[in-house]
């Protein structure tokens, strides 16, 4: 070994020796004796004894490593204290912000799930079918004229339909508001700021584009409403059967008009909001749940776990000091690990007709993975080793 390599080895020995003495982790005097023996020998220094003693001392000072000591990350290095305090303050602020974001998105997911579940329940109630059966009781069975035992059935069905209609109107209004709700916190504030900037600096030709007529968003069936006033709901004498396109076309038209007028009279299934297709709103809310439960919440949970780990690590005096690059890398890996957990726990049935309940288990696992990244990457390494092992390759070849 040349003199430069020997000098570096001795310097490493002094670094480990100094830290072990100050941290109270020096087990014996073998490292000190090995260094003194190498320095005292001018012919053939005992490098093997020094290496063994240095390795034993490095194991004794764990979790601090020789790389930490050579990089200036010793816990006794006071020159790094100011940087460490700034990183700690930033991590504290980040932890509070992440907790607030997780609470925001968790509440949003639960609220959206509840609205979609109520929407599915109302859709399964078949309001239109019950309305047709009620119209049959009135127009064909003449239940309002006879006032027989079926009259109580008519009243019960009417009350049930009105309750369902009230629920449907409220649910559709909530869906309409929710599909235009915020995707990100402070999004509306930023939009207001952007609109204010446009009002200050906008060109003249943008005035017409910024104005929106809300009446154009909700089409009204005014023609049918006028026809209901001009045509009686019930026909005392039905038409004789006739052949020809014109007659059956008129019958279909009158049947649809009767359905509309009856729903208007009883106050069920009539309202401007029902003329808008709600499938777009439901799809928008489902896509938002998928985004929040598969990507945003696992990512934020992984970031929070990594931030908590760094804060706990900074409070432990037995660990090496960490700088900004290490904190950034740890946070990035924690966020990616949380997203990976979200992939495995993705509620696939959200894309279908039924709504899957998004559990908090994947978010807790994402936090745990961000806190202890070694768990996930150890599992990934074992999977990679199992797939690339010679035994697996030979088995695949057969």
Q: What is the pLDDT of residues 300-318, one digit of tens each?
A: 999 999 999 999 888 877 7
Residue 268: what pLDDT?
73
Q: Is residue 257 part of a domain?
A: no
| DSSP state for residue 321 in the 8-state scheme | P
Q: Is residue 291 part of a domain?
A: no
What average pLDDT does the structure give for the chain?
76
Q: Is residue 316 part of a domain?
A: yes
Query: In whole angstroms, what separates CA 83 from the centre of its chain?
Result: 33
- What confidence tens digit (pLDDT) does each residue in 61-93 have? 888 888 888 877 777 777 777 778 888 899 999
Question: Omega into 63 within 30° of 0, i.e. cis?
Answer: yes
For residue 347, the enclosing domain spans 296-397
**Crossing angle for the helix pair 279-291 and 81-124, to the nearest 10 degrees:** 150
**Final residue of a domain: which of 42, 76, 110?**
76
| DSSP state for residue 227 in the 8-state scheme | H
Region 334-361: mean pLDDT is 67
Q: Is residue 42 part of a domain?
A: yes
What's the pLDDT band for 272 if we cut at 50, 70, 90?
very low
For residues 139, 141, 144, 145, the Cα torsion angle rounded to the nearest 10 degrees is 110
**Cα separation of 258 and 134, whole Å?**
12
Q: Is residue 118 part of a domain?
A: no
Q: Is residue 114 part of a domain?
A: no
For the chain, how many structural domains are there in total?
Answer: 2
pLDDT over threshold 60, residue 352: no
Residue 246: what pLDDT?
57
DSSP annotation string for 49-109: HHHHHHHHHHHHTTTS-HHHHHTT--TT-GGGHHHHHHHHHHHHHHHHHHHHHHHHHHHHH
Residue 96: what pLDDT?
94
Region 22-39: mean pLDDT is 87
**Final residue of a domain: which of 76, 102, 117?**
76
Segments in the chain forming alpha helices (H): 3-23, 30-40, 47-60, 66-70, 81-124, 127-139, 143-146, 150-179, 187-201, 207-210, 222-230, 245-266, 279-291, 297-315, 324-344, 361-371, 373-388, 390-397
Across 14-28, 115-129, 191-205, the highest mean pLDDT is recorded for 14-28
Q: Is residue 191 part of a domain?
A: no
The pLDDT > 90 percentage for the chain reads: 9
**Final residue of a domain: which of 51, 76, 101?**
76
**Cα separation of 101 and 95, whole Å?**
10
Residue 288: what pLDDT?
86
pLDDT over threshold 50, residue 235: no
Q: Is residue 392 part of a domain?
A: yes
Across 83-92, 133-142, 203-212, 329-338, the highest mean pLDDT is recorded for 329-338
- What confidence tens digit (pLDDT) does each residue in 146-172 have? 777 777 887 888 888 888 888 888 888
- What confidence tens digit (pLDDT) does each residue in 333-347 have? 999 999 988 887 765
Half-sphere exposure of 383 (CA within 13 A, CB side): 6
Q: Between these two residues, 291 and 213, which has the higher pLDDT value? A: 291
- Lowest mean pLDDT segment, chosen from 36-45, 217-226, 285-294: 217-226
Region 239-267: mean pLDDT is 65
Q: Between these two residues, 132 and 183, which has the higher pLDDT value? A: 132
Among candidates 172, 121, 166, which has minimal Cα distance to 355? Answer: 121
Residue 360: what pLDDT?
75
Residue 188: what pLDDT?
62
Q: ∠ CA(81), CA(82), CA(88), 5° rounding?
A: 85
């Amino acid at each position: 070994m040349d003199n430069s390599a020997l000098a570096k080895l001795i310097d490493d020995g002094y670094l480990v020796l100094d830290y072990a003495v100050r941290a109270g982790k020096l087990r014996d005097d073998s490292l000190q004796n090995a260094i003194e023996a190498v320095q005292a020998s001018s012919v053939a220094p005992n490098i093997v004894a020094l290496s063994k003693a240095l390795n034993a001392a490095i194991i004794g000072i764990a979790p601090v490593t020789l790389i930490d000591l050579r990089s200036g990350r010793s816990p006794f290095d006071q020159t790094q204290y100011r940087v460490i305090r700034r990183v700690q303050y930033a991590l504290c602020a980040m932890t509070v912000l992440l907790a607030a974001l997780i609470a925001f998105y968790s509440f949003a997911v639960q609220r959206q799930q509840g609205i979609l579940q109520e929407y599915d329940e109302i859709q399964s109630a078949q309001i239109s079918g019950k309305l047709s059966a009620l119209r049959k009781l009135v127009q064909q069975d003449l239940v309002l004229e006879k006032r027989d035992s079926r009259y109580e059935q008519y009243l019960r069905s009417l009350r049930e339909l009105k309750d369902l209609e009230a629920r449907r109107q409220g649910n559709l209004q909530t869906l309409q508001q929710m599909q235009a709700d915020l995707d990100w916190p402070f999004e509306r504030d930023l939009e207001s700021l952007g609109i204010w900037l446009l009002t200050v600096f906008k060109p003249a030709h943008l005035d017409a584009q910024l104005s929106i007529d809300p009446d154009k968003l909700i089409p009204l069936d005014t023609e049918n409403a006028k026809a209901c006033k001009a045509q009686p709901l019930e026909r005392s004498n039905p038409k004789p059967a006739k052949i020809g396109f014109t007659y059956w076309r008129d019958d279909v038209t009158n049947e649809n008009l009767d359905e509309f007028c009856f729903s208007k009279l009883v106050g069920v299934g009539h309202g401007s909001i029902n003329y808008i297709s709600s499938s777009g709103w439901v799809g928008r809310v489902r896509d938002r749940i998928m985004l929040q439960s598969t990507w945003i919440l696992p990512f934020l949970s992984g970031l929070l776990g990594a931030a908590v780990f760094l804060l706990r690590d900074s409070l432990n005096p037995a660990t090496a000091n960490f700088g900004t690059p290490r904190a950034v890398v740890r946070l990035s890996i924690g966020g990616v690990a949380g997203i990976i957990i979200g992939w495995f726990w993705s509620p696939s049935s959200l894309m279908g007709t039924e709504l899957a309940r998004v559990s908090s288990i994947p978010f807790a696992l994402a936090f745990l993975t961000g806190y202890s990244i070694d768990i996930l990457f150890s599992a990934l390494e074992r999977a990679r080793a199992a797939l690339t092992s010679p035994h697996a390759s030979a088995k695949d070849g057969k």
